[in-house]
Amino acid sequence: MPARSRLPNCLALAVVVLLAVGMRPVLAQGAAPPAVPNQKDQGIPAPLQPGDAFGEEMTLTSHPIVFLKGKANWDDAFATLVDAFKSLNEYLAKQGLKPNGPFITIYTETDDAGFSFEAAAPIDKVPDNPPKGDIAAGQSPSGKALKFVHRGSYAAIDSTYEAITNFLDEKKLDAKDILIEEYTTDPVKTDPERLTINVYVPVK
């Protein structure tokens, strides 16, 4: 089961394959990270680095975005998202616009087969002639959230979500029915094994 499905109060998913093998501990603040082994295809996140957030409370601020709505199955999740971001890049280039921050994915619905999403790029302001159809303009989510960091391949992110689920359970926190991933490394250009992703879990 993708661990994203097990966040409290999030929409349920059916079993795929949990990659939560060899869960790494969260580093104490200021501790030096251990050496990173070759984790390709192991489903294990890279260790957190000093200063990486894990359960940091924060408030998300809404800002203008252009986004592409889509659906994907879990096996092809990352490839589908990358294609969506490529489409956004093409749209922005044609409009003479540039993103003013990292790409994000907003997970809006999930089921046993896959998920619905909004792949988004932040912009300075909504265009005078906003896009229509598959690509639209709007605002990013706002409100109280917890921030977590994932390092490593997207194939290993379910292990991070498993750790997030455990964190929420231990703290007895209720998550809203939405998840947000922010890609601080460009998912279109970055080596898939060297991604850095901020996960935002809006909480009640």
Domain range enclosing 112:
1-22+56-204
Q: Output the domain CATH number for residue 64.
A: 3.20.80.10
Domain count, the chain: 1
Is the pLDDT higher at 15 or at 188?
A: 188
Segment 81-106 shows an average pLDDT of: 94
Give me the percent of the chain exceeding a pLDDT of 90. Answer: 62
C-alpha–C-alpha distance, residues 123 and 63, integer Å:
8
At 39-87, the pLDDT tens digits run 444 578 899 889 899 999 999 999 999 999 999 998 899 999 999 999 9
Residue 40 falls within a domain, yes or no?
A: no
Return the half-sphere exposure (C-beta side, CA atoms, 13 A cut-off) of residue 145.
20
Q: Which of 68, 38, 33, 37 is nearest to 48 (CA)?
A: 33
Q: In 15-124, which ranges are continuous DSSP H helix?
A: 77-95
C-alpha–C-alpha distance, residues 73 and 78, integer Å:
10
Residue 182 falls within a domain, yes or no?
A: yes
Residue 170 falls within a domain, yes or no?
A: yes
C-alpha–C-alpha distance, residues 77 and 107, integer Å:
11
Residue 43 falls within a domain, yes or no?
A: no
| Residue-level pLDDT at 25 | 31
| Residue-level pLDDT at 110 | 81
C-alpha–C-alpha distance, residues 154 and 149, integer Å:
12
Residue 45 falls within a domain, yes or no?
A: no
Q: Which two tokens stand for residue 79?
A: 């490839």
Residue 66 falls within a domain, yes or no?
A: yes
At 141-184, the pLDDT tens digits run 999 999 999 999 998 999 999 999 999 999 999 999 899 999 99
| Residue-level pLDDT at 188 | 95
At 122-143, the pLDDT tens digits run 999 887 787 877 899 999 999 9
Residue 33 falls within a domain, yes or no?
A: no
Averaged confidence pLDDT in the chain: 82
Task: Tell me how long the chain is.
Answer: 204
- pTM exceeding the 0.85 threshold for the entire prediction: no
Structural contact between residues 115 and 76, judged by C-beta atoms closer than 8 angstroms: no
